[in-house]
Chains A and B, each alone.
Chain A
């Protein structure tokens, strides 16, 4: 037996249902205790590579595989499954979909139970892992009620009870608020320090850097484009593909030697009559439940581009659902266009206010994209002669022209997300509200549509200026607030903690930390340069000001 925990040799795979290769000619060798970061845009083959490593390919997925995956010189396909589970532990992107028990203790014990271990052994393993991850306080909870971050940690615990020597983490940070993501990364680092080989798949390179990966593997179209230390990432892999720390981006932009120019200032608009008004709103889901909102006051004005930040489970979605009448206040009132939301149906409010839900899979149903987009306008009773025009314009706004006849359920996740945004755009509402519009999307994709929807600087043509009086989005990504908002709300402890321009709200680091929002490198750099810039800017534009 050699001491190489993992060797991948000339690995190529093609799914049975697809004509093209999903990954091609992958070569890779990992050492014990090494932490490898795998990055690349959506669909580049990261998950496919992960499946080859944990043996799901060729066991569960059919297709043509060539090359080798060796653990200590043993081919993955020849290791029996029960043993395999103790060689590689895999943590998937969505914890919701890998938790199999309704109770935390059972979930963590699931693997050892399957191995048929004796009770005492299982108890001791579970207790050990609970302690290791500081999860003892969760042991008797129902998995259903856990927050996203807690779910992800419980799922990790379930993997660790199998004592694997290699850990494979496929985008484990997607559903976490910044503070939870940070904690998770610290855990990964310490596991590597203990001698486990850790493979972390994550396209948000900037965040993953906190785990101090030894090497970065960057993939494009199924091939390795780069494998080596992150610092030496060659300039052809640019900052529009991978999210890098802001100071690096500045360096790279400068190194490219393109002409830099001063950025246009954001235009400041006069505030007109408020579109939506929250007056002393209290809310609880049920008589027996605690208050989620308490004494909330909020006005949304024309021209507002609002980012809402705050911890997992604070009540951000609850707040926003009041503005479309899905929830009605327990006390106080919400006025939409001057009218009490209690007196209006959701369908009536939908005329003025469009709401994009977090997950596209919760609303897509139609056999074609076109019919999907017609659904809203038809329900709202628009003239059927106008609908085709609405559909056409919304599709082009999200760059989906040409997909009219495709079934939305057959599209990729990113395309589905854009379809749902288009479906709401087609309703021609005055106000656009989006719940975590960028979750689970790759960087290049989401920058693209956020630019299209939110760009407000003079001259930039935006869908927003054409259609919407105001936009509000909920996000865990502080950089979105820095780059695209002109007003930031920090929500926590049942009410709005801070409300103001991004520059005002985001400068108070201790306040942010208190509500589990972690300042990013982009925010730090912006604050540093604020005297020169006079307002927050995206990383590329900062190059002009940085000395």
Chain B
């Protein structure tokens, strides 16, 4: 098992952006959708288009994301499905409880019992699901490319330049340093225990027993890491870590024209959403006529 960063140098506009720009833009989009509580698909769709454009510009190959797409869909179905099942009071999805024509009903039954009920799927719930999916993808698509397109060596500096302390920023760098090491330690430990006849595939016993049997895998790696820590502390102290404000070598981060454009766009989106919602009352959830008409 090898931990490989998915990062590769690609000659794209996205990679020429300052890493801070991307993080800040992402934060603006989240704020724009969540603070004024935007649930109007007419506003979400244009934002979705912006996200999609940025996503496509990062030119991630299909084979890179192929594997995680199923997870994404499971997650989306889970959330949307749960909403159907559990909708109650509070939260934005309470709108789905508004009286609305029922399209069909899904029977639910708890296994091995006679308890069951029918869940009415209303027009309102269906439209809400569509909105919710679009809204989630609008945010997710800004994030998914990050591991593929941002050099791991730059995270620490990016944190530093966004105002974190030397120590916190370096923690980030150091974590990147250790990640592949521990992944390898974990593999070696797996192998060493298998060579002693341990078979993870055949974990027996009850829940407690099975969890306890993970000890031969977890303990060696964790304990070795605590010992490693002591030596790393020595090594860092001996090289004067934390005694003075640090120089950060790769801090030649500078905002360029394109960065200002994207940051400006982020601010504009945020302000526009706030103004629309609070100034004009536009942006809340509603089911459009045409969608209702499809079913009535």
Contact in complex: B193, A114 (CB < 8 Å):
no
- What are 25 pairs between A and B in contact, CB < 8 Å? A56-B237, A60-B233, A89-B238, A94-B231, A97-B232, A98-B231, A106-B153, A112-B247, A113-B248, A114-B239, A114-B241, A115-B247, A116-B245, A162-B239, A346-B195, A346-B197, A350-B197, A354-B195, A355-B195, A362-B188, A362-B192, A363-B196, A363-B220, A375-B198, A379-B196
Q: Are B198 and A347 in contact (CB under 8 A)?
A: yes
Q: Which residues of A contact B215 (CB under 8 A)?
A: 365
A82 touches B244 (CB 8 A): yes
Contacts of B234 in A (CB 8 A): 56, 60, 90, 92, 98
A117-125, A505-513, A516-524 - the one binding chain B:
A117-125
How far, in angstroms, from A56 to B233 measured CA to CA in the complex? 10
Instruction: Say how far B252's CB is from chain A's closest CB, in angstroms.
Output: 9
Q: Answer whether residue B242 sits at the interface, using C-beta atoms and an 8 A cutoff.
A: yes
Whether A144 contacts B247 by the Cβ 8 Å rule is no
Q: A98-B235, A362-B192 are in contact. List 10 more A-B contacts (CB 8 A).
A: A97-B232, A99-B177, A110-B241, A162-B240, A354-B195, A359-B188, A361-B223, A362-B189, A363-B189, A365-B220
Chain B residues near A102: list those with CB within 8 A.
152-153, 173, 176-177
**A90 CA to B233 CA, complexed, in Å:** 13
Bound CA–CA A359/B191 (angstroms):
12
Contacting residues, chain A, for B2 (C-beta < 8 A) = 285-286
Distance of B203 from chain A, by nearest CB (Å): 12
Does B180 lie within 8 Å of A100, measured CB to CB? Answer: no
Q: Evaluate contact between B216 and A365: CB separation under 8 angstroms.
A: yes
| Contact across chains for A81 and B243 when beta carbons are under 8 A apart | yes
| Interface presence of A423 (CB below 8 A) | yes
Instruction: Please name the residue on chain B nearest to A350 by beta carbon.
Output: B197
Asked if A100 contacts B247 (CB within 8 A), the reply is no
Q: Which residues in A have their C-beta under 8 angstroms from that of B193?
A: 363
Is A492 interfacial (CB 8 A cutoff)? no
Q: Which of A60, A96, A380 is in CB contact (< 8 Å) with B181?
A: A96
- Asked if B174 contacts A423 (CB within 8 A), the reply is no
Cβ proximity bits A136-172 to B, threshold 8 Å, 1 near / 0 not: 0000000110000000000000110010000000000
Query: Which B32-58 residues sit within 8 Å CB-CB of chain A?
Result: none
Q: How far is the CA of A117 from the CA of B244 in the complex (A)?
A: 10
A400 beta carbon closer than 8 Å to chain B: no
Q: Are B173 and A116 in contact (CB under 8 A)?
A: no
CA distance A372 to B224 in the complex (A): 17
What mask results when residues 217 to 261 of chain B are scored 1 for a CB within 8 Å of chain A, else 0?
A: 001100110011001111111111111111111100000000000
* Residues of A in contact with B (beta carbons under 8 Å apart): 54, 56, 59-60, 80-82, 84-85, 88-90, 92, 94, 96-103, 105-106, 109-119, 122, 143-144, 158-159, 162, 285-286, 321, 324, 326, 345-347, 350, 354-355, 357, 359, 361-365, 375-376, 379-380, 409, 423-424, 427
Query: In the complex the two chains form, is B177's CB within 8 Å of A101's CB?
Result: yes
Contact call A106/B249, Cβ cutoff below 8 A = yes
Given known A347-B197, A375-B216, contact A85–B239 (CB-CB < 8 A): yes
Contacts of A99 in B (CB 8 A): 177
CA distance A115 to B247 in the complex (A): 8
Given A100-B177, A376-B196, A361 contacting B239 (CB threshold 8 A)? no
Note all chain B residues with C-beta closer than 8 A to A81.
Answer: 237, 240, 243
Q: Chain B nearest CB: distance from A246 CB in Å?
A: 34
**B235, A97: Cβ atoms closer than 8 Å:** yes
Please pick, from B195, B235, B240, the residue contacting A357 in the complex, using a CB distance under 8 A. B195
Residues from chain B with Cβ under 8 Å of A357 in the complex: 188, 191-192, 195
Closest Cβ neighbor of B235 among chain A residues: A98
B240 and A115 contact, CB distance less than 8 A: yes
Cβ-defined contact, B195 with A409, below 8 A: no
Beta-carbon contacts of B163-207 to A below 8 Å, as 1s and 0s? 000000000011011001100010011011111111100000000
Main secondary structure of the interface of B (DSSP, over half): helix
A152, chain B: closest CB distance, angstroms: 13
Q: In the complex the two chains form, what is the Cα distance from A136 to B7 in whole Å?
A: 24
Which 3 residue pairs spanning A and B have beta carbons closest together?
A379-B197, A98-B235, A365-B219
- B-side contacts of A375, CB under 8 Å: 196, 198, 216
Determine which residue in B191, B227, B233, B248 has the highest number of CB atoms from chain A within 10 A of its CB, and name it: B191
Cβ of A115 and Cβ of B196 under 8 Å apart? Answer: no
Please give, as numbers and ranges, the residues of chain A lying within 8 Å of B238 by CB-CB distance: 54, 56, 84-85, 88-90
Closest residue of A by beta carbon distance from B178: A102
Q: Which residues of B contact A112 (CB under 8 A)?
A: 247
In the bound complex, how far is the Cα of B237 from the Cα of A88, in angstroms? 12
Residue of A60, A355, A361 ringed by the most chain B CB atoms within 10 A: A361
Instruction: Report the separation of the CA atoms of residues A379 and B203 in the bound assembly, to the nearest whole angstrom.
Output: 11
- What is the CA–CA distance of A103 and B176 in the complex, to the nearest angstrom? 10
Residues of A within 8 A of B185 (CB): 362
In the complex, which of the residues A105, A106, A109, A423 has the most CB atoms of chain B within 10 Å of its own CB atom? A106
Residues of chain A within 8 A of B191, CB atoms compared: 321, 326, 357
Q: With A and B bound together, what is the CA distance between A81 and B241 in angstroms?
A: 9
* Residue of A90, A159, A363 with most partner-chain B CB within 10 A: A363
Please determine whether A379 and B223 come into contact, CB atoms closer than 8 angstroms.
no
CA distance A208 to B192 in the complex (A): 33
Q: How far is the CB of B170 from chain A (nearest CB, A)?
A: 8
Choice from B195, B232, B245 contacting A324 with Cβ under 8 Å: B195
A164 shortest CB reach to chain B, Å = 10
Contact B239 A92 (CB under 8 A): no
Query: What residues of chain A lie closer than 8 Å to B173, measured between beta carbons?
Result: 101-102, 106
A409 to B219, CA, bound (A): 10
Question: Which of chain B's residues has its CB closest to A54's CB?
Answer: B238
Asked if B174 and A100 sit within 8 Å, CB to CB, the answer is yes
**Residue among A122, A285, A379 with most chain B CB within 10 A:** A379
Q: Which residues of A contact B235 (CB under 8 A)?
A: 90, 92, 97-98, 100
Q: How far is the CB of B215 from chain A (nearest CB, A)?
A: 6
Closest chain B residue to A426, Cβ basis? B196
A246 to B198, CA, bound (A): 44
CB distance from A458 to the nearest CB of B (A): 32
- Chain B residues, CB < 8 A from A345: 199
User: What separation, in Å, do the CA atoms of A347 and B195 have in the docked complex?
Assistant: 6
Residue of A nearest to B197 (CB): A379
Query: Which of B223, B233, B234 has most A Cβ within 10 Å?
Result: B234
A417 vs B231: C-alpha distance when bound (angstroms): 20
Of all chain A residues, which has the CB nearest B166? A114
* Cα-based distance from A326 to B233 in the complex (angstroms): 35
A362 is contacted by which of B220, B236, B240 (Cβ under 8 Å)? B220
Closest to A375 in B: B196
Closest to A351 in B: B197
Q: For A54, A56, A110, A354, which residue has the most chain B Cβ atoms within 10 angstroms?
A: A110
* A100 and B192 within 8 A (CB): no
Q: In the bound complex, do residue B177 and residue A113 qualify as a contact, i.e. CB atoms below 8 Å apart?
A: no
Rounded to whole Å, the gap between the CB of B144 and the closest CB of chain A is 23
B89 to chain A, nearest CB (A): 49
**Complex interface: chain A residues within 8 A of B246 (CB):** 113-114, 116
What's the Cα separation between A355 and B193 when bound, in Å? 10
Assembled-state Cα–Cα distance A336/B13 (Å): 55
Complex CA–CA separation, A344 to B10 (angstroms): 44
Question: For residue B177, which residues in chain A have a CB less than 8 angstroms away from its CB?
Answer: 99-102, 143-144
Enumerate chain A residues within 8 angstroms of B189, measured Cβ to Cβ.
362-363
